[in-house]
């Protein structure tokens, strides 16, 4: 291969730049020219390629976001969009592609591969819902950000004897809520995978004060139903609850920004290097780089994108044991 391209697609995460840097420098080391794709799959469809030199990726290792830009692309979901992207890649003389993306983007990558484009996927998502890998780029930084924020909230909650409902990201997956509940010592975790009634939540708050706690921290995953606002409304309507104040905080996109942790920098760099080397020697075509234990391995993209990653039973059990 003489010319490869790299694209970041879907929601951004800390560590994307570290990966783009590793991809660029590894490919240049092996004698390849590198092009970056602007604005994710949208840019791929529109042929927005920019040359990347070693100097262009200098100093970005610790930067959050992505220097290439990213997007959620409706057009790339269609075969017409994928074919247009393929034509743009061929027109630009690109022999191989590294796709750094979450589940939706990697599904799209697999379609592009089946249309004939040699490519390798690299998993990134703060949600940790990518099947086939223990963890993806971005998860560790997001968890650290949440831990820092919850710690601050806990300080003020304790001073005022308050209950806090803290919403963390995860539309379909409760991993961030579950893991942050455990590492922050929350009293309760509400996740889409496990039903809990609003009456149960009210009872946890009442019990927290009854046993002498000075606060009650409830971590709510974005995808938990009926949702943070409904819960807040319910709690304020329960008679006799005036003994405690309830406040809510939505952490939102703060979780997606910031400088990547040491873990994410290393993971992103290792994954970027392997993605390029397995693209160049052909062993990674149609595959995704994955972390299993401490080892990086290649897994089939079709397999990795055909299933939903289940929540760790171990973490569920620990939360049940300790979050109360
Ligand atoms: O998929 C990652 C994620 O961060 C989810 O946790 C969240 O629900 C979603 O992206 C938010 O997406 P957007 O930035 O497009 O609103």
Closest CA to 134 of 303, 295, 306, 316: 295
Q: Name the residue range of residue 28's domain.
A: 3-138+260-304
- Judgement on whether residues 184 and 197 belong to the same structural domain of the protein: yes
Q: What are phi and psi of 53, to 5 degrees?
A: -105, 170
Closest CA to 130 of 277, 320, 226, 267: 267
36: domain CATH number is: 3.40.50.450
pTM for the model stands at: 0.97
Residue 34: inside a domain: yes
Complete DSSP assignment for 172-208: S--HHHHHHHHHHT-SEEEBTTB---HHHHHHHHHHH
Closest CA to 299 of 136, 70, 85: 136
* Residue-wise pLDDT tens digits, 32-61: 999 999 999 999 999 999 999 999 999 999
Taking the centre of ligand 1 as the mean of its atom positions, its distance from the CA of residue 223, in whole angstroms, is 11
Residue 310: inside a domain: no
246: domain CATH number is: 3.40.50.460
When pLDDT is averaged across residues 192-216 and rounded to a whole number, the result is 94
Residue 323: inside a domain: no
56, 95, 127, 314: the active-site residue: 127
> Which pLDDT score, from 0 to 100, does residue 237 have?
87
307 has pLDDT over 80: yes
Query: Ligand 1: does its nearest atom lie under 6 Å from the Cβ of 169?
Result: yes
Kindly report the average pLDDT of the chain as a whole number. Answer: 96
Query: Phi-psi category of 227—alpha, beta or left, where left has phi over 0 and alpha has psi -120 to 50?
Result: left
Percent of residues, the chain, with pLDDT higher than 70:
98
Preceding amide of 226 cis, omega within 30? yes
> Which pLDDT score, from 0 to 100, does residue 240 have?
61
Total domains, the chain: 2
Taking the centre of ligand 1 as the mean of its atom positions, its distance from the CA of residue 198, in whole angstroms, is 25
> Which pLDDT score, from 0 to 100, does residue 155 have?
98
User: Is 127 among the residues known to form the active site?
Assistant: yes
241 has pLDDT over 60: no
């Amino acid at each position: 291969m003489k010319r490869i391209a790299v694209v970041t697609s879907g929601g951004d995460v800390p560590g994307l730049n570290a990966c783009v840097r590793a991809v660029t420098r590894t490919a240049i080391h092996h004698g390849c020219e590198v092009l970056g794709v602007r604005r994710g799959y949208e840019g791929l469809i529109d042929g927005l390629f920019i040359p990347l030199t070693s100097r262009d990726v200098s100093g970005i290792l610790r930067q959050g976001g992505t220097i290439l830009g990213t997007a959620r692309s409706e057009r790339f979901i269609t075969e017409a969009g994928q074919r247009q992207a393929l034509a743009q890649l061929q027109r630009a003389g690109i022999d191989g592609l590294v796709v750094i993306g979450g589940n939706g983007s990697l599904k799209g990558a697999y379609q592009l591969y089946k249309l004939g484009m040699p490519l390798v996927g690299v998993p990134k998502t703060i949600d940790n819902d990518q099947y086939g890998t223990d963890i993806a780029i971005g998860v560790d930084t997001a968890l650290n950000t949440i831990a820092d924020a919850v710690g601050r909230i806990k300080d003020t909650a304790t001073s005022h004897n308050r209950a806090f409902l803290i919403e963390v990201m995860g539309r379909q997956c409760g991993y961030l809520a579950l893991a942050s509940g455990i590492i922050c010592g929350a009293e309760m975790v509400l996740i889409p995978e496990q039903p809990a009634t609003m009456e149960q939540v009210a009872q946890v708050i009442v019990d927290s004060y009854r046993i002498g706690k000075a606060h009650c921290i409830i971590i709510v995953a974005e995808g938990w139903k009926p949702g943070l606002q409904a819960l807040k409304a319910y709690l304020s309507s329960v008679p006799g609850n005036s003994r405690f104040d309830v406040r809510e905080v939505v952490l939102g996109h703060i979780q997606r920004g910031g400088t990547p942790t040491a873990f994410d920098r290393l993971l992103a760099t290792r994954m970027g290097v392997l993605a390029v080397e397995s693209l160049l020697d052909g062993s990674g075509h149609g595959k995704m780089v994955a972390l299993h234990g401490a080892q990086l391995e290649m897994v089939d993209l079709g397999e990795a994108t055909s299933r939903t990653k289940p929540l760790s039973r171990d973490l569920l059990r620990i939360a049940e044991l300790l979050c109360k």
